[in-house]
Chains A and B, each alone.
Chain A
Amino acid sequence: MEAETRKSPRYLFRALIIILIALIAFVVYYSIMEMRSSSKKMAEISDEYGFVKYEKLKLPENITTDSTFLSLFREQAYLQSRVAMAETDSVYLTINLTDSVINIEISGVVVHSTYIDEIEASKLLTNGDEFIITSLLSAPLTIVSDTSSIVKIPIVMKIAPKDTSEFIPDAIPDTAFYEPVNYIFETDRGINIIVYQSEEINQGDNKERFMFDLRHRLINTKAVMKDILAFKVPEYQLFIKIKIPSADAKIIYRAIPKHGQIGIYK
């Protein structure tokens, strides 16, 4: 009896050690896989947008690091993207990361413009191969889905009255109603445009933003975990995080169609 009671803590201790080792091993495995995702993404982008197209022109390969070439290439890519979007009658977005300006445009006319207070982007976008990244951004990005703290169209439902006795005039809309504005546009080329309101208008706005960010991170982690458990290198999410005034953030979110287009100048 005594021997059994002496043994049980040892078994427990061993079990704990095994769990701890397994946990550490998983964390290490998770970290390695996640770290590999960015290089996998860069390799994918390189395959698709690399020098291949220019190889046919028999250009020297070091042209892709030449300052004059890159400056013209950037200009051309942004113009190409803007012209493509201007040819539609729809509302689209242009983000100029160099001048920190975000515009709403319709058919080449800037209808709303705002300065970006803060920009943060994936290192792959800011530090990655300039030529490849510019090639990636040379065509407009199309929004495939979005997540937001506000509704796209604040629809009100009203049931038609059967006769005049049931008629109730519409209430005057509450224009003072305020809600924090944070949203994410997921685009077709794997770049997430994350827009946060820059100012804290009401107490708790920063908490709301933190919770919004945490929710997004948890969704991403879930997706990464799925890949990792299937022994696959997870999908790396390129991102551009910008902070703009709340009113402008709201205008942009409501103006851009569900599957609207975005042009980026870097």
Chain B
Amino acid sequence: MENEEINNEGLEPDTAKNPDDNSQTSKDVIIQIISSLRAKMQENRRLLFVLKAALITILSIIIPILLLLYIVYLVPALEESTSGHKTEITNNPELKTDAAYKKQIALMSKNIKQLSRKFNTYSSGQSYIVINTTENKFSLYKNKKLIREGLCSSGANKILQTQKMNYLFKTPKGKFSIMGKRKHPYWHRSDWDFIEQGLPVPPKDHPSRWEEGVLGDYALDLVDGYMIHGTIYKRLMGMPVTHGCVRLGDEDLEIVFNTLNIGSKVYIF
């Protein structure tokens, strides 16, 4: 124990000197390293040149990238963080007793009721059908309840180019009405059907224009010759292949025919 104390006592003056000495020695070491590196670099100028070139290249790539990232991402983020201060929503009882306030609230409530009533008149209470041309699906509604849904086929989005004119085969989008309903419909072939097959176009009243069975058992007329009808190409159901009409499968078509009346709405999107 005594020995240890003696030893410790003996060490104290040494440790007190140490910080200065250590820093001095470390400085010396660094200076030595730098001077040796300098000496080496002066010896090897080529290495120095390569290092400088590498540094400049790296910086000239990194600085523009950082700058771009700053401008493209960071500035808009900072802009967002500084914009807009949350509105303080109040519930002041004094304000609620104000006559002008009361009048305004009553007016707005009345407006909302009127607007709601008006808006509800738009949504059809009758049966209607919705056609989704992107997914080639239909949904049939009765009393605002979905009663049947399934696949259909809509316009192929095809342009048939002829020397005289172009034909666009696309299903129109928006709100339409059923204009007519037909059982066992005949199809009056349009000019494009002949042109598409490379056939000569016959006169309008030529018997070759009339074709039976290709439209299925029922047809519901929309507008400008567009129809909802059946098809003999059942394997193409669910695909965009038609000339603009909407094709349905036999069972679906029968239900749609029996559910929709003349004037019923058809919503196509």
Contact = CB atoms under 8 A, between A and B. Distances in A.
A59 B104 contact: yes
A157 B122 contact: no
Nearest to A26: B67
B91 interface: yes
Among B90, B96, B124, B195, chain A packs the most CB atoms within 10 A around the CB of B90
Interface residues of B, number: 73
Nearest to B139: A111
A76 B91 contact: no
Contacts of A60: 95, 98, 100-101
Contacts of A80: 115
Interface string A156-179: 111111111111001011010000
Interface stretch (B23-31, B77-85, B204-212): B77-85
21 contacts: A34-B76, A67-B90, A90-B174, A91-B269, A108-B121, A109-B130, A111-B267, A112-B132, A123-B80, A129-B87, A130-B89, A157-B161, A158-B159, A158-B196, A160-B195, A164-B199, A172-B239, A173-B156, A175-B239, A251-B134, A255-B173
Nearest to A214: B72
B269 A79 contact: no
Contacts of A42: 83-84
Contacts of B170: 153
Interface stretch (B1-9, B106-114, B244-252): B106-114
Given A57-B104, A251-B135, A109 B128 contact: yes
Interface in B170-201: 170, 173-175, 195-199
Rank and list the top 4 A-B pairs by shortest CB-CB distance, nearest first: A108-B122, A38-B83, A161-B198, A127-B84
B265 to A, nearest CB: 8
Contacts of A236: 79, 83
A62 B72 contact: no
B119 A82 contact: yes
A119 interface: no
Q: How large is the interface on A (under 10, 10 to 19, 20 to 34, 35 or more residues)?
A: 35 or more
B53 interface: no
Interface of B: 63, 67, 70-73, 75-76, 78-92, 95-96, 98, 100-101, 104-105, 108-109, 111-112, 115-116, 118-124, 128, 130, 132-135, 156-162, 170, 173-175, 195-199, 236, 238-241, 265, 267, 269
A166 B198 contact: yes
Contact of B87 (A37, A106, A127): A127
B198 A23 contact: no
Nearest to A127: B84
Given A38-B84, A62-B90, A108 B135 contact: no
Contacts of B116: 79
A65 B87 contact: yes
A91 B174 contact: yes
A45 B70 CA distance: 28
B132 A251 contact: yes
Contacts of A86: 119, 122
Nearest to B111: A76
A128 B222 CA distance: 47
A144 to B, nearest CB: 20
Given A65-B87, A111-B269, A35 B78 contact: yes
B79 A104 contact: no
Interface in A179-236: 214, 217-218, 220-221, 236
